[in-house]
Amino acid sequence: MLKQTEGSHAVAEAVALCRPEVICAYPISPQTHIVEGIGEMVKSGELKNCEFLNVESEFAAMSVAIGSSAAGARTYTATASQGLLFMVEAVYNASGLGLPIVMTVANRAIGAPINIWNDHSDSLSQRDCGWIQLFAETNQEALDLHIQAFKLAEELSLPVMVCMDGFILTHAYERVDMPTQQQVDAFLPPYSPRQVLDPAQPVSIGAMVGPEAFMEVRYLAHAKQMQALELIPKMAEEFKTVFGRAIGGLTHTYRGDDAETMVIAMGSVLGTIKDVVDEMRDAGHNIGVLGITSFRPFPLAAVADALRHCKRFVVLEKSLAVGIGGIVATNVRMAVTGMGLKGYTVIAGLGGRSITKKSLHALFDKAGRGELEPLTFLDLDWNVVDRQLERERLTRRSGPAAEAMLRDLGTVASKIA
């Protein structure tokens, strides 16, 4: 059924349709509306057979999820940014124990400095933890990916992180097609785990594994993600059959068949990029888009395939690997090794800095002319940066850059002669 609703609420409804049994979460911007939505549904009786727990921290949230999932209940939680970091020990524990927990990460920057706006630092900081990571481009995709996520998780015995841009998607009202309970039931069977805490069949879970077996266990975790590379596209096909929409999968391209320049990105910024690409195509540029939906497992083959005919690619990412450059970019480069392509990394939108059509037009133009630096920070205020660098060069004084920069920003700057 078509609805005009907030992204968070769409996700809450979709999760509810998946018949979750235990939901445990701790509030953090910008995930709050998702959990509040589900909490209300449970309390009012609209969502039945579901225990909703208000926990005392994100670490507790993931831990409660671990206990619940190990005891055989379909379990869900949500977090962002600092909250994700606070639960990291448990995040690794969940994937190590093979528990099919589904978690929404409402992508938000990580401090210091504290910042509540969108970027991909949080999810990407956990790219190696063993969870499957899916990135939604629209609220429709966000809600649909949650439905796919439960099935994927339970099929593989591996937890799944569904990532959606904080505020930009979570707090945006847009049109979505909400599935029916019958459709979801047809797609998602009840959770019946292989190993569960059950007095009828006692089992010990979580023992210490030493050097004699640890490598095998870790290889198997990797192998499982390789299985996911096969399963994710199959899941998308199945989804299309039941729901009538092409959603999910590993990657998708837009006007990429004959593109000379390919722009690669994840999440909601793909929408803005596609608008720019349309305008540039109208002006005669051969430019296309590759959207990555599954970041983990990273679809090396699909990325290489999408880029095989282009001359150059621009990775536009809302993330920064401090000390080296791009995160998505380094993953992409691994896919295109030996293909002789020219690649550019663009770090954009950190901490919620708007990514505008105007800036993208200029950026892609430059890329087309081969004039981009290997690493670009989009729309950086070089004036502020240079003054701070000069300040640091002249005075040996450690401390946070944000505070030192104050002399150049806001009302303080305007008062200095």
Partner 1 sequence: MFQVRIHGRGGQGVVTAAEMLSIAAFDEGRYAQAFPSFGSERTGAPVVAFCRIADKEIRLREPIMEPDALIIQDPTLLHQVDVFAGLKKDGYILINTNKSFEQLGLGDFVRDWPHDRLCTVSATDLSRKHVGRPMPNVPLLGGFAAVSGVIRLESVIMAINEKFSGKVAAGNIAGATEAYEIVRAAMEAARGEDKESAHA
Partner 2 sequence: MSLQPIKFYQTGTFTVGNRLLAPDQRSVQANMKRTNSLNSGHRACQGCGEALGARYAIDAAMNATKRQLIAANATGCLEVFSTPYPETSWQIPWIHSLFGNTAAVATGMAAALKVKGKTDIRVVAQGGDGGTTDIGFGCLSGMFERNDDVLYICYDNGGYMNTGVQRSSATPPAARTATTMAVGAEPGNVFGQGKFVPAIAMAHEIPYVATATVADLRDLEYKVTKAMGLRGARYIHILVPCPLGWGTASQDTIRMARLAKETGVFPVFEAEHGEVTAVLKIRKRLPVEEYLRPQKRYAHLFGKQPRVDTIAHIQSLADKNIRKYKLLEEGIQ
Q: Which residues of the shown chain bind partner 2 in the complex (CB under 8 A)?
A: 21-22, 24, 49-51, 53-57, 59-60, 63-73, 75, 89-90, 93, 97, 197-199, 201-210, 213
What DSSP string runs through 3-38?
EEEEHHHHHHHHHHHT--SEEEE---TTTHHHHHHH
Phi, psi of 392 (to 5 degrees): -70, -30
The number of C-alpha atoms within 13 Å of 304 and in the hemisphere containing its C-beta is 11
Residues in touch with partner 1 (CB under 8 A): 2, 4, 6, 29, 116, 138, 167-168, 171-175, 268-272, 274-275, 354-358
**Three-state secondary structure call for residue 102:** strand
How buried is 401 (Cβ within 10 angstroms: 0-12 exposed, 13-18 middle, 19+ buried)? middle
Question: Whose Cβ is closer to partner 1: residue 153's or residue 164's?
Answer: 164
Minimum Å gap between C-beta 59 and partner 1 is 23
Instruction: Give me the least distance between CB of 13 and partner 2, in Å please.
Output: 20
Which C-beta is closer to partner 1: that of 43 or that of 357? 357
Q: Which listed option, partner 1, partner 2, none, makes contact with residue 116 (CB within 5 to 8 Å by class)?
A: partner 1
**Shortest CB 333 distance to partner 1, Å:** 26
Which residue, 43 or 358, has its beta carbon nearer to partner 1? 358
> Which partner from the list partner 1, partner 2, none does 274 bind, CB cut-off 5 to 8 Å by kind?
partner 1
Question: Which of partner 1, partner 2, none sits in contact with 54, Cβ below 5 to 8 A by type?
Answer: partner 2
The C-alpha angle 287, 107, 359, rounded to 5 degrees, equals 35
Q: Which is nearer to partner 2, 49 or 181 (CB)?
A: 49
* Least distance to partner 2, CB of residue 228, Å: 23
Separation CA 110–CA 100 (nearest Å): 26
Toward partner 1, which CB reaches closer, 185 or 279? Answer: 279
Residue 244's region, left for phi above 0, alpha for psi from -120 to 50, else beta, is: left
Q: Minimum CB separation from partner 1 for residue 135, in Å?
A: 14
User: 268 contacts which partner out of partner 2, partner 1, none, CB within 5 to 8 A by kind?
Assistant: partner 1
CA dihedral 179, 298, 232, 168 (to 10 degrees): 0
Six token digits for residue 67: 């206990």
Residue 217 contact partner, candidates partner 1, partner 2, none, CB within 5 to 8 A by sort of partner:
none
Q: Is the peptide bond before 179 cis (omega within 30 degrees of 0)?
A: no
**Beta-sheet pairing, 102-107 with 75-79:** parallel
Measured from the CB of residue 274, what is the shortest distance to partner 1 in angstroms? 5
